[in-house]
């Protein structure tokens, strides 16, 4: 791999208090030559110190570590490193943890019970501007929100290909700004598509769009 290729590699820091798990993640991520593990930390304080020395694009973060609370650490990192992507990899499937992470702008939330390879697809999704959430959590979210209006299959037929692309990304948690950047279109165009989607589906808010996307298996 040439130096120019190496410079383009996606830089990831692993943060978990279990060294064996970090080793497993490092070996897994090593299978993708476009991604590089540039550091490891066993707790939040060590991570903060490491980020002062090592540039990174993403942190893979456990919620349960000694010292600083994982949710508090997430909140701190989003303030001090707004461009840093954060992927939570945790045993906590409780809705409260998921909600807290979502409110603080987490980029991904994957359960340790998920297939281990899910980490690789999550990194790729986030690198591409999408969000990445455990399917189990998204299903629970959809169930909590209630049934989607109408017949998902029938309603999907009313959407254009571009509208389906945008709806899938909304369902994955992407903002209009992120969708615009990923698809190479303007923010205003995304907002127009979003309005059209809501009118066609009879949905009034983002929560309804997420629910519909999950029910329709777009994500």
Residue 46 shares a structural domain with residue 148: no
Q: What is the 3-state secondary structure (H, E, C) of the chain?
A: CCHHHHHCCEEEEEECCCHHHHHHHHHHHCCCCCEEEEEEECCHHHHHHHHHHCCCCEEEECCCCCCCCHHHHHHHHHHHCCCCEEEEEECCCCHHHHHHHHHCCCCEEEECCCCCCHHHHHHHHHHCCCCEECHHHHHHHHHHHCCCCCCHHHHHCCCCHHHHHHHHHHHCCCCHHHHHHHHCCCHHHHHHHHHHHHHHHCCCCHHHHHHHHHHCCCC
Is-contact 148 215, C-beta < 8 A?
Answer: yes
Instruction: Name the domain boundary from 82, 110, 135.
Output: 135
Q: So what's the pLDDT on residue 198?
A: 92
Q: So what's the pLDDT on residue 148?
A: 52
Confidence of residue 216 (pLDDT cuts 50, 70, 90): confident
Question: Whose structure tokens read 């490193």?
Answer: 81
Confidence of residue 129 (pLDDT cuts 50, 70, 90): confident
Residue 19 shares a structural domain with residue 124: yes
Confidence of residue 2 (pLDDT cuts 50, 70, 90): very low
Residue 12 shares a structural domain with residue 119: yes
Question: Which structural domain, as residue segments, surrounds residue 81?
Answer: 3-135
Residue 27 shares a structural domain with residue 102: yes
More confident residue, 157 or 172: 157
Residue 116 shares a structural domain with residue 57: yes
We report the CATH number of the domain holding residue 120 as: 3.40.50.2300
Confidence of residue 172 (pLDDT cuts 50, 70, 90): confident
Residue 88 shares a structural domain with residue 161: no
Across the range 125-129, mean pLDDT stands at 87
pLDDT at 132 over 90: no
Q: Is the pTM of this model over 0.75?
A: no
Can you name the residues that pair with 121 across neighbouring β-strands? none
Q: So what's the pLDDT on residue 155?
A: 76
Residue 70 shares a structural domain with residue 30: yes
Q: So what's the pLDDT on residue 209?
A: 86
Residue 39 shares a structural domain with residue 107: yes
Q: Among 37-41, 48-52, 180-184, 212-216, where is mean pLDDT lowest?
A: 212-216
Rounded to the nearest integer, the mean pLDDT of the chain is 86
Across the range 90-113, mean pLDDT stands at 87
We report the CATH number of the domain holding residue 195 as: 1.10.10.10
Residue 51 shares a structural domain with residue 130: yes
Centre a 10 Å sphere on the Cβ of residue 49 and count the other Cβ atoms it contains. Answer: 11
Confidence of residue 142 (pLDDT cuts 50, 70, 90): low
Residue 126 shares a structural domain with residue 161: no
Instruction: Name the domain boundary from 135, 170, 191.
Output: 135
Instruction: Name the domain boundary from 135, 156, 173.
Output: 135
CA–CA separation, 101 vs 79, rounded Å? 14
Can you name the residues that pair with 66 across neighbouring β-strands? none
Q: So what's the pLDDT on residue 96?
A: 82
pLDDT in tens, 25-62: 999 999 999 999 999 999 999 999 999 999 999 999 99
Number of domains observed in the structure of the chain: 2
Is-contact 193 163, C-beta < 8 A?
Answer: yes
């Amino acid at each position: 791999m040439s130096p120019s290729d190496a410079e383009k590699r996606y830089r990831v820091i692993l943060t978990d208090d279990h060294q064996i798990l970090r080793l497993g993640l490092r070996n897994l991520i090593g299978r993708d030559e476009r991604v590089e593990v540039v550091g490891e930390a066993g707790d939040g304080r060590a991570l903060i110190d490491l980020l002062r020395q090592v540039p990174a694009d993403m942190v893979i973060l456990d919620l349960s570590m000694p010292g600083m609370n994982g949710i508090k650490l997430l909140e701190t990192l989003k303030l001090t490193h707004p461009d840093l992507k954060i992927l939570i990899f945790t045993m906590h499937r409780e809705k409260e943890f998921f909600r807290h992470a979502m409110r603080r702008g987490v980029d991904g939330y994957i359960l340790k019970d998920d297939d281990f390879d899910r980490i690789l697809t999550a990194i790729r999704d986030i690198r591409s501007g999408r969000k990445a959430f455990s399917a189990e959590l998204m299903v629970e979210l959809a169930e909590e929100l209630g049934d989607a209006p109408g017949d998902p299959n029938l309603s999907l037929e009313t959407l254009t290909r571009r509208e389906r692309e945008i709806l899938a990304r909304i369902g994955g948690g992407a903002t209009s700004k992120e969708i615009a950047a990923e698809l190479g279109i303007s923010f205003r165009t995304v907002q127009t598509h979003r309005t059209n989607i809501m009118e066609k589906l009879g949905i009034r808010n983002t929560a309804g769009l997420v629910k519909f996307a999950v029910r329709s298996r777009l994500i």
